Amino acid sequence: MLNGASVGIKTAVTYGYWFLCIASLGAFLLFPFIVNPYFRQYIFSIGIGWVIAQITLVLFFLVDDVRRGAFWAIGQVASTAGAKFMNTEQGIPRSAFLNWLGVGISSSLFFSLLYGFGNKYKYQLLHKKVAIKNLPAAFKGFKIIHISDIHSGSLKEKEAVQKGIDLIQKQGADLILFTGDLVNDKATEMQDWAPIFGQLSAPKGVFSTLGNHDYGDYVQWDSKEAKVANLEALKAVHASMGWKLLMNENVTIEKGGAKIKLVGIENWGAKARFPKYGQLNKALDGVDPKDVIILLSHDPSHWEAQVIPEFPQVDLMLSGHTHGMQFGLENPYFKWSPVQWVYKQWAGLYQQGEQKLYVNRGFGFLGYPGRVGIMPEITLLELV
């Protein structure tokens, strides 16, 4: 009976494996013919997820092949008794262990990506207290909602997004800040979403800046004029929602006779593939270095590359961009994502000297229509 059950499980796993292989190949073959962009996201993600799972599985097979090769080589030069000793395997054979371990890990990875499809609208509210030196007494306890990376071209479920908007409004924040990537590529993506995000309001206003995707750099335009017109249309979207878009400029936020400076720049990325539209010197024009300065800059790589070495007067920088790669592990004691191999500061609060950086994990999603471990984020920052 036990042997029959084992054979049955092995047969089911085998058939399931080949079904997924064929389905994955079919997804790639059919991908160019799928018109619906939302459906394309799922098909592409499933196909890529399966390929990644297979690469993971092959790595375990490779380890086993290296092990086998090493034992064979040793057996050629060692005594027969020694070779027999080295090849003696008690309990589960090493090959079977490595193979099943590989199958288990690769399967867990693949099915976790499928599970993540259901997490893309599970907004988490993170409350962080941020200590700022010389913060005016009137601003102690000042509440800021920080969101980033909406990527409206990827959004589909209005009721789910509305719950995120409602969650933001329930916090009663003094100020709402958005740090870029309102769209994936084109201003027209906001046509159905502007009324929803336009509901955001705060006593001290809603301010925003641009991210790398907002410039339309990743699509082909009929002309330079069309690309420029798209950016102007996106600026108009910000205005229509009541958001003040900061384009290398600063504004004063006043409370109880005191003030802080809010500075916003266009996208500035230290990575070679991202453009440097931002002009922080220009944005800080007229700002007293003694003022408390909060900077909106989409790409967190800007912090170590320019802000820290050249602009020590910036007290707090707010960014997004990384999404936490929408994949990783987080708990109170441990935080990991593959994106940390590219971005040193990729999620949460960082500090160097008196300067601080907060990287939001993103409100929306891009590419992979889901989240595994790294949930969409709404940040409530409290100045102390």
Looking at the predicted structure, is the pLDDT value of residue 1 above 90?
Answer: no
pLDDT in tens, 289-338: 999 999 999 999 999 999 999 999 999 999 999 999 999 999 888 899 99
Alpha helices in 31-90, H assignment, sequence order: 37-77, 80-87
pLDDT in tens, 283-296: 999 999 999 999 99
Token pair, residue 272, equals 């070679």
Question: Tell me, what's the pLDDT at 275?
Answer: 83
Token pair, residue 63, equals 């380890």
Looking at the predicted structure, is the pLDDT value of residue 224 above 70?
Answer: yes
Question: Tell me, what's the pLDDT at 384?
Answer: 96
- Give the 3-state secondary structure of residue 236: helix
Question: Tell me, what's the pLDDT at 116?
Answer: 86
Q: What is the mean pLDDT of residues 337-342?
A: 93
Average pLDDT, the chain: 86
Question: Tell me, what's the pLDDT at 250?
Answer: 98
> Dihedral, CA atoms, 343, 345, 346, 351, nearest 10 degrees?
180
- The backbone torsions φ and ψ at residue 272, rounded to the nearest 5 degrees and listed phi first, read -60, -35
Question: Tell me, what's the pLDDT at 111?
Answer: 67
Question: Tell me, what's the pLDDT at 114?
Answer: 77
| 85 confidence band (pLDDT: 50, 70, 90) | very low
Question: Tell me, what's the pLDDT at 14?
Answer: 66
Does CATH number 3.60.21.10 belong to domain 123-383? yes
Q: Long-range contacts made by residues 6-13, C-beta under 8 angstroms, separation at least 24?
A: 13/103
Domain with CATH 3.60.21.10 in the chain: 123-383
Looking at the predicted structure, is the pLDDT value of residue 145 above 70?
Answer: yes
| DSSP designation for 305 | I
